[in-house]
Amino acid sequence: MMAGYGAVDEWLQSYVGRSADIMDFSSDMAGLLTGLILFSFFTFWPAFLVVTGIAIFLLTNLTRVNPADLLPRTNALFHLSAYAIFTVLWIQCISRWLIKTPRLKGLIVTLVIPTGLLLAVKLFSAFFGRYFNVRDVIISAAAIASVVVIYYITSLLQYRKSKIKM
Mean pLDDT per 10-residue section of the chain, whose length is 166 residues: 85 80 84 82 82 86 68 84 94 72 70 92 85 86 94 82 70
Q: Is this model's pTM higher than 0.75 or not?
A: no
pLDDT at position 103:
66
Asked if 112 and 51 touch (Cβ cutoff 8 Å), the reply is no
The full set of domain ranges for the chain reads 1-41, 43-165
pLDDT at position 139:
94
Distance CA 118, CA 136 (A): 10
Separation of first and last alpha carbons in the chain? 52
Distance CA 9, CA 104 (A): 49
